[in-house]
Amino acid sequence: MKKVSIIVPVWGVEKYISKCLESLVNQTLDDIEIILVNDGSPDNSQKIIDEYVKRYPQKVISYIKENGGQGSARNYGIKVATGEFISFVDSDDYIELNMVEKMYIKAKKDKSDIVICGNYNVSENYLHKKQDYFTSNYNTNFENALFGKMAVWNKLYKKNIIVDNKIFFKENVWYEDLAFNVKTILNSSKISFINEPLYNYLIRQGSTMNNSNIEKNLEILQAFDDALDYIDKNNKQDYIKMVEYLAIDHIYISTIVRVIKAEAEKKLQQDVIKKLIHYMEEKFPNFRENLYINELPKNRKIVYNLINKNKYNILKFIFKIKKG
């Protein structure tokens, strides 16, 4: 058994993958395996992978599968992983050389099921790097984890939390991280934080969250359906108000804002927003009374109140001014 399995889905990243792999093979924690899952990539990514397998045969493992999306590739990696802990790295990103060691030591010291770190946002040309601060706004690490960044790449997971609870990613959709994180967090006895940026997240035009297909934003509803179904089937209704607040933050605020900011036909924007609001009112009929709303940062509370009043044009104007 390795200490940590690093799972890397690969698709269309020949321009970026070498930098990613250099950061992985040179980790200060040596007892790791790097599981590269080529998800039917049409470019030369596999040639680069093969070079690293040849140079680091004890550390780098390559798998090739038919295209099934990022969630499918991660699921494949989970099934073949042998590590005590699992981390996920996107193949266009890279990590600090001591990231895995720091997170592993923290997990062992605190006996944690999940460890969460900070990150840098990096420009596509690698010339600009800015720390993406995360704040502990809530009373417990559990709340800070559930209401924090819903990415998987800033976390180290104890493998048996994933496997024993049969937790896998939803495939062929956006937002596959969200339901996965809700499930793992709800099954964790202890969660720790390292308030230090250890992951480098590349902001690039072609990435999923920068895609202008606004109807794809509705797939967040599938993620919440998945999470709610899991809560219902596993008798975790005590957490429903927390998940309701998560929906306020991710559906009612973030997704509606993403739709408003997108370059798209006005009627299409309105239709997507109506569906998002309808979902909230159907699944969480009393969501506007959620006590956690008081914990929203000031800027997000302003956005929340403007959405409540259907002031989308004002929001669009604000974001246009902010963009410059």
What integer pLDDT is reported at residue 39 of this predicted model?
A: 97
What integer pLDDT is reported at residue 95 of this predicted model?
A: 98
4-35: pLDDT as tens digits = 999 999 999 999 999 999 999 999 999 999 99
On whether the 4-208 domain is CATH 3.90.550.10, my answer is: yes
Q: Looking at this protein, which amino acid is placed at residue 240?
A: I
Quick count: other Cβ atoms within 10 Å of Cβ 229? Answer: 11
Instruction: Tell me the average pLDDT across 182-198.
Output: 97
What integer pLDDT is reported at residue 133 of this predicted model?
A: 74
Crossing angle of helices 266-283 and 219-233, rounded to 10°: 10
Q: Look at residue 172 and tell me whether its pLDDT is greater than 90.
A: no
What integer pLDDT is reported at residue 209 of this predicted model?
A: 47
231-246: pLDDT as tens digits = 999 999 999 999 999 9
Instruction: Tell me the average pLDDT across 144-151.
Output: 95
Instruction: Tell me the average pLDDT across 179-200.
Output: 97
46-85: pLDDT as tens digits = 999 999 999 999 999 999 999 999 999 999 999 999 999 9
Provide the token pair at 8: 């890397």
DSSP 3-59: SEEEEEEESS-TTTHHHHHHHHHT-S--SEEEEEEEES--SSHHHHHHHHHHH-TTT
Let me know: does 291 contact 262? Beta carbons within 8 Å.
no
75-126: pLDDT as tens digits = 999 999 999 999 999 999 999 999 999 999 999 999 999 999 999 999 999 9
More confident site: 47 or 206:
47
Query: 254 — phi, psi (to 5°)?
Result: -60, -45
Domain boundaries of the chain, sorted by first residue: 4-208, 212-323
Provide the token pair at 148: 């924090």
CA distance 254 to 304: 10
Q: Which run of H or of E encompasses 131?
A: strand 129-132
CA distance 89 to 70: 11
Q: Look at residue 320 and tell me whether its pLDDT is greater than 90.
A: no
Average pLDDT of the chain is 94
**DSSP-assigned letter for residue 212:** -
Q: Look at residue 206 and tell me whether its pLDDT is greater than 60.
A: no
Geometric angle at alpha carbon 25, from 22 and 29, rounded to 5°:
130
